[in-house]
Chain A
């Protein structure tokens, strides 16, 4: 009975992370982090800068190896996969990078066609149709002949999104998709993430600092701090969280458990020049 419940839970979750430990040099980034990403939903990872959100995406994608722990993607442990197995596994993952990471020597069309050319034997006509459909989904069918240097930041993000969904992946990972976007571009990206997740029947994992946009589209939010998950739940639950640190993060209060001032002597000491050393 217990095994059946565990199996059913595993089927409900696309990703399960168990007791993850990761160190960068001497610095401990994750200290026994555990979390799950439910299938078919949009899950957001939030937390202060440097808490390891992007690092976690890279560990899930197998680009970084943790010191200990398991990262199960569809039941397969990513941390134990060989280089060849990882390359195979990643065909089912679409990732949107913070910098968009478009190939600068290829046009918009060629960028979106790239994963299709690399991983399928489709004839050129089929590739063309697919590329145009993906570009149409992000509203940039008319920009197919432009080079990345001719795109605005928002357009580049949308092209990168079209490329990320080219192979209809089961997992979409977004690294700070709203950063540096004007309000219109941000609105477009927010609505695209929601629409594409539903249209593809995919699971989305979103890293962001923008609490309002993230709360508006996420089914579940995890807040990371100190190498662990300090809070997790539906967006509406977080402002009522018992931890004052979590509440400060969610409401964006400048001073609180996370102080506004970097630790220093009293201002008067510094101004009068007789600060105790």
Chain B
């Protein structure tokens, strides 16, 4: 029993220490807002985490938009309300699925890559050598990746939403024969700029901060062994996904409230 309590205490202390290290790293790196001379580093990272994630975002968005439109059309047409497909699709995407699915895909594609890259740099002593040259790796390596994630993910979310709505339109209008005018006008009448688009983007920025924070910290704090890198990469994807889903519920409650 004593052993159990002791191991529980040890684990809790480890977790707290880890959270402390992560917070210090995050604050130090964020404080190091890239200077003008370091802009190329930031642009390169935006390319790595943002542009290279575009293919998976676009393909997934089109497919998800198409599936949602199909399901909505099937159900709504039973009540003769197939004109509301566009509105339903837009609300679901802008408020929930856009930020959440983009966050999950981003964690799997870019988050894991960032963790593996930083972890490998640590394992091959590149971070140590940089530090020994008097160059702060938090500023040179971590900060550009952190900022690149925070800048890229909301843009990817916007891209996801647009492509998914077009994917839905292809299915609902072109294939199933719903009215094109009703599809767009329903959306224009009911979608609000701040309440739907804005709040979705706020979610996306929060997910971006959380995912990139987890990704860079797991890489920076990894055990410098091949197993350590594998474990850190897995942890990035699992922790990011759980955090996105949990945070989404909390954010939806606080943003849209009054559900009862």
Please report A residues at the B interface, Cβ cutoff 8 Å. 58, 61, 63, 83, 87-91, 93, 95, 97-99, 101-104, 114-115, 118-119, 160, 163
CB atoms of B134 and A101 under 8 A apart:
no
Q: Residue on B with the closest CB to A119?
A: B134
Q: Is the interface of A mostly helix, strand, loop or mixed?
A: helix
CB atoms of A101 and B128 under 8 A apart:
yes
CB atoms of B134 and A97 under 8 A apart:
no
B14 within 8 A of A: no
Count: A-B pairs, CB below 8 Å: 49
Which residues of chain A come closer than 8 Å to B124, judged between CB atoms?
99, 101, 104
A102 to chain B minimum Cβ distance, whole angstroms, is 8
Q: For the complex, what is the distance from the CA of A93 to the CA of B124, rounded to whole Å?
A: 20
B143 to chain A minimum Cβ distance, whole angstroms, is 14
B128 to chain A minimum Cβ distance, whole angstroms, is 7
B8 within 8 A of A: no
Which residues of chain A come closer than 8 Å to B130, judged between CB atoms?
103
Which residues of chain A come closer than 8 Å to B125, judged between CB atoms?
97-99, 101
Please report B residues at the A interface, Cβ cutoff 8 Å. 124-126, 128-136, 140
CB atoms of B128 and A90 under 8 A apart:
no
A58 to chain B minimum Cβ distance, whole angstroms, is 8
Which residues of chain B come closer than 8 Å to A83, judged between CB atoms?
136
Q: For the complex, what is the distance from the CA of A88 to the CA of B133, rounded to whole Å?
A: 9
Which residues of chain A come closer than 8 Å to B129, judged between CB atoms?
95, 97, 101, 160
Q: For the complex, what is the distance from the CA of A52 to the CA of B135, rounded to whole Å?
A: 25
B94 to chain A minimum Cβ distance, whole angstroms, is 38
What would 22 A/B residue contacts be, using CB atoms closer than 8 Å? A61-B132, A87-B131, A87-B134, A87-B135, A87-B136, A88-B134, A90-B132, A95-B132, A97-B125, A98-B125, A99-B125, A101-B124, A101-B125, A101-B126, A101-B129, A103-B130, A104-B126, A114-B135, A115-B135, A118-B133, A118-B134, A118-B140
Q: Residue on A with the closest CB to B133?
A: A115
Q: For the complex, what is the distance from the CA of A61 to the CA of B131, rounded to whole Å?
A: 9
A213 to chain B minimum Cβ distance, whole angstroms, is 22
Which residues of chain B come closer than 8 Å to A93, judged between CB atoms?
132
CB atoms of A91 and B134 under 8 A apart:
yes
B26 to chain A minimum Cβ distance, whole angstroms, is 16
A61 to chain B minimum Cβ distance, whole angstroms, is 5
Q: For the complex, what is the distance from the CA of A93 to the CA of B131, rounded to whole Å?
A: 11
A15 to chain B minimum Cβ distance, whole angstroms, is 15
Which residues of chain A come closer than 8 Å to B128, judged between CB atoms?
58, 63, 97, 101
Q: For the complex, what is the distance from the CA of A115 to the CA of B91, rounded to whole Å?
A: 52
Q: Residue on B with the closest CB to A92?
A: B134
Which residues of chain A come closer than 8 Å to B131, judged between CB atoms?
63, 87, 90
B29 to chain A minimum Cβ distance, whole angstroms, is 13
Q: For the complex, what is the distance from the CA of A160 to the CA of B126, rounded to whole Å?
A: 11
B51 to chain A minimum Cβ distance, whole angstroms, is 17
Which residues of chain A come closer than 8 Å to B140, judged between CB atoms?
118
Q: Residue on B with the closest CB to A114?
A: B133
B18 to chain A minimum Cβ distance, whole angstroms, is 16
Q: For the complex, what is the distance from the CA of A163 to the CA of B134, rounded to whole Å?
A: 13
Q: For the complex, what is the distance from the CA of A102 to the CA of B129, rounded to whole Å?
A: 8
Q: For the complex, what is the distance from the CA of A63 to the CA of B132, rounded to whole Å?
A: 8
Which residues of chain A come closer than 8 Å to B126, judged between CB atoms?
101-104
Q: Residue on B with the closest CB to A93?
A: B132
- 7 more contacts with CB within 8 A, not counting A103-B130, A114-B133, are A63-B128, A63-B131, A90-B132, A91-B133, A118-B133, A118-B134, A163-B133
Q: Residue on A with the closest CB to B138?
A: A83
Which residues of chain B come closer than 8 Å to A114, judged between CB atoms?
133, 135
A124 to chain B minimum Cβ distance, whole angstroms, is 14
Residue in A90, A98, A103, A160 whose CB lies within 8 Å of B134: A90
Q: For the complex, what is the distance from the CA of A17 to the CA of B250, rounded to whole Å?
A: 54
Q: For the complex, what is the distance from the CA of A101 to the CA of B127, rounded to whole Å?
A: 8
Q: For the complex, what is the distance from the CA of A59 to the CA of B135, rounded to whole Å?
A: 17
Which residues of chain B come closer than 8 Å to A104, judged between CB atoms?
124, 126
Q: For the complex, what is the distance from the CA of A269 to the CA of B136, rounded to whole Å?
A: 58
Q: For the complex, what is the distance from the CA of A95 to the CA of B133, rounded to whole Å?
A: 8
Q: Residue on A with the closest CB to B124?
A: A99
Q: Residue on A with the closest CB to B136?
A: A87
Q: For the complex, what is the distance from the CA of A223 to the CA of B136, rounded to whole Å?
A: 33
